[in-house]
Chain A
Amino acid sequence: MMHGILLSSSGEIDVMVHGLMKYSFFGHEVWITTTHVCLLLVMLVLIVFSIAAGRAIKKGAEVPGGFQNAVELIVEKLDGMVDGTMGRSGAKFYNYIGTVFIFILFSNISGLLGLRPPTADYGVTFPLGVITFILIHFNQFKYQKPKDIWTDMCSPLPPWLPIWLPINIISEIAVPVSLSLRLFANILSGTIMMALIYGLLGWVATIWPAALHVYFDLFSGAIQTYVFCMLTMTYISNAIGDNADA
């Protein structure tokens, strides 16, 4: 079945996830895909980096050297970003936001190394959105009174008239969906554009696509990482509200 006009089946252009091996899991056919492999590679790099960073900090010198300097710079920048957005309650979220930031950033720019970016798979970004969703509502119930949450959920109308409740619930559910779809679609569109350029232009695409890599992988990936973390922090600090005791 060849449809030359449909790019997914034309053979030269390669954007979708490939299954590498399959196994049977309780009667279901489960595939190990390129996403799993790329994700494992990214995680391996991050684990090695974090172990090295921990060693460097543990025997840290008074006057930091090269690698220790870089690690301290990264941690300070990330903590400063969290502090600037979340204010007083930011200290509890240093670890999570920093981890997510570095993970998404490495995943996005792994396209430069010839990997298929793991974030171009909805199965990777949707769990990140779900974690944000759980964090939002956990903190909402932790820091706000149930009565205030109910009033907030009925918001344009008074709390004894919950006509707007279903619409507000839908808009709450839309948060993780839009958060994860935004990241996924941005990275996927970059991947598809690069695959189209390499697949359709052939030998014409030799050196100059590097400039497009800078845009699609580095710029777009960094922007989307920043946006994901900023939106997560904004939603969480909205859920915490002003009456945080931290």
Chain B
Amino acid sequence: MDFNESFILGCSAIGAGLAVIAGIGPGVGQGIAAGHAAAAVGRNPGAKSSITSTMLLGQAVAETTGLYGLLVAILLLFVKPLLW
């Protein structure tokens, strides 16, 4: 089958939009981590620095899946692998 170029580019744009929906998951996860960290600081204010570093580490790991979605979107928009 032979699709023309603009059809493929339009579908790539739709796919890129769908791919960044992956950002929902890390958003929820990071929010949960930050909420629990805030609760932990409220319970034990002395351990604030170690709680903060643990929270940042966990949030960064949780962020990875969202970044994969972002990378797929960037590849679809800028590298245009479907046109090759």
Contacts and interface: CB of A to CB of B under 8 A. Distances in A.
A binds B: yes
Contacts of A224: 60
Contacts of A188: 74
B68 A231 contact: no
A57 interface: no
Interface string B30-67: 00000000000000000000000100110011011001
Interface size class of B (residues with CB under 8 A): 10 to 19
Given A5-B13, A8-B77, A16-B78, A223 B56 contact: yes
Contact of A182 (B53, B56, B67, B74): B67
Interface residues of A, number: 22
A7 interface: yes
A227 B67 contact: no
Which secondary structure dominates chain A's binding surface? helix
B71 interface: yes
B70 interface: yes
Nearest to B63: A182
A143 interface: no
B9 interface: yes
A84 B67 CA distance: 28
Interface string A4-36: 011110000001100000000000000000000
Interface in A164-220: 178, 181-182, 185-186, 188-189, 192
Nearest to B67: A185
Interface of A: 3, 5-8, 15-16, 178, 181-182, 185-186, 188-189, 192, 223-224, 226-227, 230-231, 234
Given A6-B80, A182-B63, 12 more contacts: A5-B13, A6-B9, A6-B13, A7-B77, A178-B64, A181-B64, A186-B63, A189-B67, A192-B74, A223-B60, A224-B60, A226-B53
